[in-house]
Amino acid sequence: MTARIGVVTFPGSLDDRDTQRAIRVAGAEPVALWHKDKDLKQVDAVVLCGGFSYGDYLRAGAIARFSPVMDTVIDQAKAGLPVLGICNGFQILTEAHLLPGGMLGNDHLHFICRDQKLRVENAGTSWTSDYTAGQEIHIPLKNMDGRYVADRRTLDELEAEGRVAFRYLDMNPNGSLNDIAGITNAAGNVVGLMPHPEHAVESLIGTGRTDGLPFFTSILKKLVNA
């Protein structure tokens, strides 16, 4: 049976179709989910895609966190449902307290769009098992509010527990503390990152690499072998 991965569309989402395509390229079935619906249509995993949900009014991800669909996502994520938050999706995950810390505006106060070098720090999550720890990859990055922040105790816990999933290399594009590009929850089923793996799944587009494809093959293998 084909794994079914839901992709939530909020008002202002930009990358829902790209994410659906990445899921299809990996061999799974993408399922469109609407922000007003609490029904997740019996999907096996969920992706919160990038964009500017609700125009980023109030604070990036702060309004989307209260969408009806998020009530179900939060409950099921706590019960083990794999959830990936990309860029705005990462912001929503922090606002929903499924991941610790928060996001502030880039320290240089400008929108940034570039191919970003990352190091895989944790290859043991539901979304990263097709990588190897220490692997260096290139993933497109585009954000205005991408600066990851947390108090010192939270940062120390993330580092000590191996929950930093990805770290920026060569340059820190937004001032994120500890060069953090992505993190995971303790169970490894919820992962958030600022770069956009869905834009790096085919060699003809994006970076010209397929460094983002393992996100989607990882979860597919996880679900097939579950």
Q: Is the separation of the CB atoms in 62 and 105 below 8 Å?
A: no
> What are the CB-based long-range contacts (under 8 Å, 24+) for 41-44?
41/4, 41/6, 42/4, 43/4, 43/5, 43/6, 44/3, 44/4, 44/5, 44/82, 44/223
Full-model pTM? 0.96
- Residue from 35, 49, 95, 198 carrying the catalytic annotation: 198
Tokens for 149?
A: 């922040």
Distance, in Å, from the CA atom of 86 to the CA atom of 220, rounded to the nearest integer, reads: 17
Angle at alpha carbon of residue 27, lines to 120 and 7, rounded to 5°: 75
Taking only the tens place, the pLDDT of each residue in 180-216 is: 999 999 999 999 999 999 999 999 876 789 999 999 9
Residue 58 pLDDT: 81
- Residue from 87, 95, 121, 138 carrying the catalytic annotation: 87
Residue 112 pLDDT: 93
113 is an active site residue: no
- Residue from 49, 95, 121, 196 carrying the catalytic annotation: 196
Strands 180-184 and 190-193, bridge-based pairing: antiparallel
Distance, in Å, from the CA atom of 141 to the CA atom of 190, rounded to the nearest integer, reads: 20
202 is an active site residue: no
Taking only the tens place, the pLDDT of each residue in 138-195 is: 999 999 999 999 999 999 999 999 999 999 999 999 999 999 999 999 999 999 999 9
Distance, in Å, from the CA atom of 163 to the CA atom of 64, rounded to the nearest integer, reads: 25
Tokens for 168?
A: 């920026």
The whole-number average pLDDT for the span 119-142 is: 97
